């Protein structure tokens, strides 16, 4: 987490100082930043101890430059029949996402060029992962003798000659339960602290003043969006559009209620919550950056699928926002304008 935070801080520094002062560098800022983050993440993940996870560091390091706002605006414009501007923005957002995906892939392969032994270790680890199946779901007995529980279930061939390190592989990341507490995954109760803090600093990144009345509303709606997304992911699998629609519906209802009751601006308090849904939706669809899958070029095909994931998330967000507007403004005084602007 700390490595990903440092990568995000470096990315913000480059965006505020280097990219803003050089028009030439601003054109390739996102590409170079993603390559740099991926290169460092691959180098750290190649350490034999397995403490660092490539997909977690690289995805979290570039989450601030995802085109969430652009995808949202293009979806709303297409839904409101503004076909020219909406289609142009949508195509640009998809191509931009492909740039990020391929930049992460190039950064990873650049490290493999420098350290050839790391490539061989990754291919061996990929072969091990191919011998087991990971399923995220719910276990429920037919006679209800066992209390139902959610979790990650791993099925593998018990007779296969597998090293002990492969027993704790989840999505290509090594997680040993015997590690000390500061190397394990944070328990879920820590989200009660981490999510509001992330929302607070994300609001500051959107230039929201500290003493603004709308700041606590933005944080609250963002936390509600994360909670709705987290709950939906527990029961709905491999449907990022549906999960994003549920989160966007919650954000839309809360934002429009705030606008209707307190006469505020729904756009300002909702934009941060919508920004929460884009990375979560992509993660539900398979993630932004995936681990190396061998020499067949599978990682490049997964980079192409990133564009389709963005379309799925955009469709879900659009449907959720329109549904929330329909519910909130179906009774009492109607909203006379700017309905498609949240």
Contact 52, 45 (CB under 8 A): yes
Residue in this structure with the two tokens 């180098």, named with its chain if needed: 43
Alpha-carbon span 80 to 339, nearest angstrom:
10
Contact 3, 44 (CB under 8 A): yes
- pTM beyond 0.85: the answer is no
pLDDT, tens digit, 9 for 90 and up, residues 250-262: 988 888 888 888 8
- Position 302 pLDDT exceeds 60: no
- Position 339 pLDDT exceeds 70: no
Question: Which has the higher per-residue pLDDT, 282 or 37?
Answer: 37
Contact 141, 99 (CB under 8 A): no
Question: Average pLDDT of 182-192?
Answer: 78
Alpha-carbon span 166 to 155, nearest angstrom:
12
- Position 297 pLDDT exceeds 50: no
Confidence of residue 63 (pLDDT cuts 50, 70, 90): confident
CB burial readout 121-148, b (16+ within 10 A) else e: ebeebbebbeeeeeeeeeeeeeeeeeee
Per-residue pLDDT, 167: 56
DSSP classification of residue 15: I
Per-residue pLDDT, 291: 47
Confidence of residue 220 (pLDDT cuts 50, 70, 90): very high
SS3 content of the chain, % helix, strand, coil (to 5): 70, 5, 25
Q: From 266, 311, 328, select the one nearest 75 (Cα to Cα).
A: 311
Per-residue pLDDT, 309: 74
Per-residue pLDDT, 104: 83
pLDDT, tens digit, 9 for 90 and up, residues 201-210: 888 877 788 8
Share of the chain above pLDDT 70, in %: 71
- Position 165 pLDDT exceeds 60: no
Q: From 279, 215, 273, 281, select the one nearest 245 (Cα to Cα).
A: 281
Q: From 75, 60, 81, 86, select the one nearest 313 (Cα to Cα).
A: 75
């Amino acid at each position: 987490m700390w490595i990903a935070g440092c990568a995000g801080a470096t990315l913000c520094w480059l965006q505020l100082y280097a990219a803003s002062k050089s028009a030439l560098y601003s054109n390739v800022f996102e590409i170079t930043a993603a390559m740099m983050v991926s290169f460092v993440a691959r180098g750290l993940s190649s350490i034999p101890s397995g403490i660092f996870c490539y997909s977690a560091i690289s995805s979290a390091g570039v989450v601030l430059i995802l085109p969430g706002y652009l995808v949202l605006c293009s979806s709303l414009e297409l839904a409101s029949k503004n076909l020219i501007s909406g289609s142009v923005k949508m195509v640009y957002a998809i191509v931009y996402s492909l740039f990020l995906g391929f930049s992460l892939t190039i950064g990873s392969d650049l490290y493999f060029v420098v350290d050839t032994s790391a490539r061989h270790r990754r291919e061996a680890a990929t072969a091990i992962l191919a011998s087991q199946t990971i399923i995220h779901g719910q276990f429920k007995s037919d006679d209800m003798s066992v209390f139902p529980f959610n979790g990650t279930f791993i099925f593998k061939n018990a007779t296969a000659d597998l090293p002990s390190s492969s027993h704790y592989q989840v999505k290509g990341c090594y997680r040993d339960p015997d590690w000390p507490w500061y190397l394990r995954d944070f328990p879920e109760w820590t989200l009660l602290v981490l999510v509001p803090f992330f929302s607070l600093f994300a609001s500051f990144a959107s230039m929201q003043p500290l003493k603004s009345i709308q700041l606590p509303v933005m944080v609250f709606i963002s936390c509600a969006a994360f909670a709705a997304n987290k709950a939906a992911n527990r029961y709905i699998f491999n449907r990022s559009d549906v999960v994003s629609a549920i989160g966007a519906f919650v954000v839309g209802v809360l934002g429009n209620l705030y606008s209707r009751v307190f006469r505020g601006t729904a756009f300002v308090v909702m934009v941060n919550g919508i920004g929460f849904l884009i990375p979560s939706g992509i993660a539900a669809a398979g993630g932004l950056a995936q681990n190396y899958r061998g020499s067949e070029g599978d990682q490049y095909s997964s980079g192409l699928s990133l564009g389709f994931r963005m379309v799925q998330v955009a469709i879900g967000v659009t449907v959720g926002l329109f549904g929330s507007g329909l519910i909130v403004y179906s009774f009492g005084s109607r909203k006379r304008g700017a309905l498609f602007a949240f």
